Structure 1
């Protein structure tokens, strides 16, 4: 599969595209680019969030190359141009985040470390950040430093809690997977939801055990398009429209809602970050950047994690929505200023 080129989102020059196979036989689409300029600072592997794809990161790739970094990125299994794990290719599905960790180690070993010189860094967003940090003990020998943006440590409370409570009041509809919309909170507090942890995640585990793991979450569908006014990812209408145009040009890149199995796997990964013994095991130097107006993940949970893990630094960008890399320039510029400070390179 080639990269999808669009007039509003052209493929950065000098791209090389290929597929790499994991130990369990999944084919992952990857792409890489050499650094620009005479000063080469190393290599950055970019890790996407859930439901994303290589083409969405073309602008980020150009930003990194202009700084003197070679760039590698890839599509996680089940999304973008990589192998899908369900008959319905629009389902975002995985039974365990261990599969994603296998994806990451495969790309690092077979592409990043094999094709490009060090030092080696990673720039990870949301679910990609959770995958990276959950495997930090093993990745310490592969990566020198990492920047993680709005990692999936916990989901925010608020209206979500009230809706989940209603779901449990109509348990029959949930078990039969009737349509029941469960939106994320629109409140700023962003505190981790105790209701979600106590009720929704155990329900996801139960539904998985009775054979519904590959079903969409209640209320979920394969729809990939959301109006700008309803999106929770970015406040930048231009960048939002750009990604929509790419999906219209190649709908096969997109996926819809996650499956119950995916939620079950995510809940187990998030629970690991709350365990007190996780901090001492974290040795990989890491800068965590949180979005002050995040409505997808819990910013307070990210701050709490960083307060007890010595290997991490913490920065919150006030006013930014979840996808800071896809936000307005006033937010992106702050992120890259922090990146430039934390990711030092060495002259070749």
Structure 2
């Protein structure tokens, strides 16, 4: 069952989802006159933030979370989209932390602060989505479940949410369908928010099957090559005609990627276009989502944010998928571009506030405020 809501921005809006007051001032050791945006308090990590790594399948995967003694009422895993990096979600991590929800960020392997698959570190390659999902499930079992143990009662686990964007949203749905059970038979995630999940790629969707099949087969002969038109990251990467103005309409958040990638201390985060192997793996994985019964067996309550002006993923595929989910609340954001979590406050706050209300009604109103006994 899907419940659909529409959000149409008004001329004047008040932001309530974005963080405004911080419990401290933690200025990153990378601020200089050429990167002034990084000095904004909203783009700093929560207090006592710590990055660590876990090696799986020969790749170091980076994850981060606050190591403070703060008492939280829930935990939330953040998964970014293709080419995303954890630092761009500090603002979201603050929003969660300010609501007493413990944020945990995992950088997908092949991007962000995680290891790369190829010698050319700019190439966003793939080792197969099935392998990625398997490693992700291990990290969730080891890191996220541990982070959600109630410090006031070690026999209880806090409710855990999953907030994921684009490719991360795609992986979230696959995880919910295939893995969302602990070794004790309990659900891992209590509620999920998906920002413009990748159910299909718009550029591929436009091609008739009779044309796309031979093209993809030819590209598959050159797995480590960039997709057509792809290249290494440069400061002009998102200013190219095919990418300019399609991610977010917020001028400040739009500058975050360039500010981080061009800073000498954070140049290792830079990532360019995906490879042909990534593209073929993504298409194969999207087909799996369309299999009869695959999405239908997901029981977890889900909020999906659909960006009305999305030119990267298929909104048609999102609408079709949401209709197949048992407990889905679809929020259509008229005028929003693909990166809802990096969009203007009028869109970003509408999505986050909708989710926070959603978890109040679906999780925190339950016995023990949604906490479960660890059996």
State TM-score, norm by structure 1.
0.82
Structure 1 residue 286, shift from structure 2 partner: 1.5
Q: In the comparison of the two structures, how many residue pairs are matched?
A: 308
8 A Cα contact 1:53 1:253, kept in partner: yes
Stretch of structure 1 that moved more, 128-137 or 321-330: 128-137
**Equivalent residue in structure 2 for 1:49, among 81, 92, 98:** 81
RMSD: 2.3
Partner of 1:282: 298
Residue 330 to residue 201, structure 1, CA distance change in 2 (3 Å): farther
1:216 aligns with 2:226: yes
Residue 199 to residue 103, structure 1, CA distance change in 2 (3 Å): farther
1:78 aligns with 2:119: no
Structure 1 residue 313, shift from structure 2 partner: 2.1
Query: Which is richer in helix?
Result: 1
Stretch of structure 1 that moved more, 135-144 or 327-336: 135-144
Per-residue CA shift, 1:297-339, capped at 9, x if unaligned? 1112101111122232211111110001100011111101111
8 A Cα contact 1:147 1:288, kept in partner: yes
Partner of 1:227: 239
For residues 213 and 78 of structure 2, the distance between their equivalents in structure 1, rounded to whole angstroms, comes to 29
8 A Cα contact 2:48 2:68, kept in partner: no
8 A Cα contact 2:77 2:104, kept in partner: yes
Higher RCO (CA 8 Å, separation ≥ 6 residues): 2
Structure 1 residue 280, shift from structure 2 partner: 2.6
Partner of 2:196: 150
For residues 228 and 292 of structure 1, the distance between their equivalents in structure 2, rounded to whole angstroms, comes to 22
Partner-residue secondary structure (3-state), 2:261: helix
**Equivalent residue in structure 2 for 1:199, among 204, 211, 222:** 211
**Equivalent residue in structure 1 for 2:45, among 11, 17, 27:** 11
For residues 287 and 232 of structure 2, the distance between their equivalents in structure 1, rounded to whole angstroms, comes to 27
8 A Cα contact 1:201 1:267, kept in partner: no
Residue 70 to residue 238, structure 1, CA distance change in 2 (3 Å): same
1:129 aligns with 2:169: yes
8 A Cα contact 1:51 1:255, kept in partner: yes
For residues 298 and 210 of structure 2, the distance between their equivalents in structure 1, rounded to whole angstroms, comes to 27
Per-residue CA shift, 1:90-149, capped at 9, x if unaligned? 000003111321232122111111233321110000000001111213124321111111
Residue 12 to residue 284, structure 1, CA distance change in 2 (3 Å): same
Structure 1: tracts of 5 or more residues without a match: 162-191
Residue 146 to residue 323, structure 1, CA distance change in 2 (3 Å): same
Residue 63 to residue 25, structure 1, CA distance change in 2 (3 Å): same
Structure 2: tracts of 5 or more residues without a match: 1-27, 31-37, 150-157, 182-186
Residue 310 to residue 194, structure 1, CA distance change in 2 (3 Å): farther
8 A Cα contact 2:46 2:97, kept in partner: no
